[in-house]
A and B are shown apart, each in its own frame.
Chain A
Amino acid sequence: MDIDKDIDKKDKKRQKETARRQFLTETLPAAASALVLAAGLGAYQRSAQAVPPRAMRPPGALPEKKFQAACLRCGQCVRACHANLLQNNTMEEIAFDQPAEINPNASVKLEPVLRLAECGADIPVGTPYFIPRISPCRLCEDMPCAQACPSGALSKQTLLDEEKKPSIYKATMGLAVLVDHENCIGSQGLRCDVCYRNCPVIDEALTLDMQINRRTGVHTRFIPTVHSKYCTGCGKCERSCILEHPAIKVLPIEQARGELGHHYRLGWEEKEEAGKSLIPEALQLPARRPEELP
């Protein structure tokens, strides 16, 4: 009986010793190696998480941080993109890429819109993007890219209009900004308005603001002016800008927009809301004039 117990004890001890050794020689190194690999990966992905300003996400994309958690990197949106599938170029598309009057018989190769980021690009690998200056979003009404997305990283449901129906015109892929007044032809007082004519939401997202041309004194400067409420960020304005480098560019919204101090109140808006002036009576301040010279 005692001997049995003794053997039992020894067996247990040996088992314990084996388990300990196994932990030290197998489990621990395996876990440590995995940790080293994971740490390296963590640092690498951290340094590359931002998307460069020239690349835009497709319509209906979640905000960037959520997008990177959701996108499965499968490329089904790229495959669904109508502009990518376009085989017989319509006249409109040809005119868009190359004016037909230049060469009506030219076979025009359309640049695909959506692409997947390749390894080594400054966009998270395998995620979809388009570069407006190369090929802008064509704003398909049925949003095939968002429809093809299996993960919800792109979703039509984020683009509901007033009737709660998905509408491509609710897209906010970015915001166009006239970044270079000095080189914009229209701003110089010359005739251009190409960006304005190409805007799919013409007169709402992009208007021409008329200003006096002080250089000549008699002419008008037509300043392309973007209205964030309507701009989808499709990039047709940037694509069509006739300059060597576009004066109007689509930027990520957070980079394009300023933000008013939250304590600010605009007097005329407050007045309209209240129906009357918020100040009981207009202040009468004494007019300050330079003292009359003797």
Chain B
Amino acid sequence: MINKRRPGQEAVAKKGWVQSYKWLFLRRISQLGILGLFLAGPLLGIWIIRGTLSASEVLGFLPMTDPLILLQSLAAGHPATSTAVIGALIVVVFYALIGGGIFCAWVCPVNLLTDAAAWLNRRLGLKKGMKLSKNTRYWFMAAILLLSALSGTIVWEWLNPVTMLQRGLLFGMGMGWFLIAAIFVFDAFLLRRGWCGHICPVGAMYSLLSLTSVLRVQAAGREQCTDCMDCFSVCPEPQVIQPALKGDAQSSPVILSKNCLNCGRCIDICPHNVFRFSRRT
């Protein structure tokens, strides 16, 4: 039974609700939990982490800096402090090991929004939408660095919905809701997975860190595949599945594309347990 609007029915029937939503559930806990850690300071006075996703300090000593923001600051002509550089290195090494997409799928608050938009898009059975290359975001990232150098300011922070949404929840949203609503509408009705998959330069930066990541999803049981297409329906970057799942016998079953977010949704949704987390081989 193939129902592209409601994928996952077979998985629930076969594996049960818990096994069919395990990684999704953990991911939501992670996303909301990280937001909660940031909010615990101002709301409850429990200061585990201070700052925002652009730069923060954990437990009063461990700095973290968003690498793209630091690169923009450098391009704009500001010599970086050692704190900012150490913070960026910590972030880069962490995501280079477990996959940059982990930021997008497990940390970024915008993912909650765009996942909801993708769900609506799927449920309404809409077509993919306007034509926009998947590589746009990488070019856009390069353009932003160039624009930062030309303008002498951290350009993307004028519009970046990732930090805008999080900062808004922590410090006050202002007119930010309009931007957030615009992204939802864009993703739901104009282009499926439009923002994260096509435009977001922050995601592009983190995806580049996936080129080396040790943690990868593997189509280990690909001979069990019954072509139900559920994994393709739910995957935020469905083109990454094809080579691993449908490659010939010599090809690697590991999903090697840098665009894979390690979200684990394919693991959940597959009724035949084809996918699992593994190491890059």
Q: Tell me the A residues contacting B by CB distance below 8 Å.
A: 26-27, 29-31, 33-35, 37-38, 41-42, 44-46, 48-49, 65-66, 68-76, 78-80, 115-121, 124-126, 148, 150-153
Contact = CB atoms under 8 A, between A and B. Distances in A.
Given A38-B144, A45-B153, A69 B77 contact: yes
A27 B51 CA distance: 37
Interface centre among B57, B157, B179 (most CB of A within 10 A): B157
Contacts of A115: 171-172
A45 to B, nearest CB: 4
B69 A72 contact: yes
B92 interface: no
B259 interface: no
B172 A72 contact: no
A45 B158 contact: yes
Contacts of B66: 72
A49 B153 contact: yes
The 5 A-B pairs of least Cβ separation, nearest first, read A118-B174, A120-B175, A34-B139, A30-B133, A69-B76
Given A27-B135, A30-B135, A118 B55 contact: no
B28 interface: no
B199 to A, nearest CB: 7
Contacts of B23: none
Interface string B76-87: 111111011001
Contacts of B79: 152
A72 B167 contact: no
A33 B79 CA distance: 31
Contacts of A72: 54-55, 65-66, 69-70, 73, 84, 154
A74 B79 CA distance: 17
B172 A126 contact: no
Given A33-B139, A37-B199, A125 B157 contact: yes
Contacts of A75: 51-52, 167, 170-171
Interface string B141-162: 0111011101111111111000
A151 B147 contact: no
Interface string B60-75: 0001011001100100
A26 B131 CA distance: 11
B160 to A, nearest CB: 9
A44 to B, nearest CB: 7
A66 B78 contact: yes
A119 B133 contact: no
Interface of B: 41-42, 47, 50-52, 54-57, 63, 65-66, 69-70, 73, 76-81, 83-84, 87, 131-140, 142-144, 146-148, 150-159, 163-164, 167-168, 170-176, 178-179, 199
10 contacts: A29-B133, A33-B136, A68-B152, A69-B148, A73-B55, A74-B54, A75-B171, A79-B42, A116-B167, A126-B163
Nearest to A38: B143
B147 A73 contact: no
A69 B80 CA distance: 10
A14 B260 CA distance: 30
Contacts of A33: 132-133, 136, 139-140
A293 B199 CA distance: 91
Nearest to B42: A79
A246 to B, nearest CB: 25
A70 B76 CA distance: 8
Contacts of B174: 117-121
Contacts of A66: 77-78
A26 B135 contact: yes
B171 A116 contact: yes
B140 A152 contact: no
Contacts of A45: 151, 153, 155, 158
B51 A79 contact: yes
B158 A125 contact: yes
B155 A73 contact: no
A65 to B, nearest CB: 6
A63 to B, nearest CB: 11
A27 B55 CA distance: 33
B17 to A, nearest CB: 39
B81 A150 contact: yes
Interface centre among B50, B176, B178 (most CB of A within 10 A): B50
A70 B78 contact: yes
A1 B76 CA distance: 58
A68 B173 contact: no
A82 to B, nearest CB: 14
Given A76-B51, A119-B168, A68 B179 contact: no
A31 B139 contact: yes
A55 to B, nearest CB: 14
Contacts of A44: 158-159
Contacts of A26: 133, 135
Given A72-B154, A73-B52, A150 B73 contact: no
Contacts of B41: 79
Nearest to A87: B45
A155 to B, nearest CB: 9
Interface centre among A71, A72, A78 (most CB of B within 10 A): A72
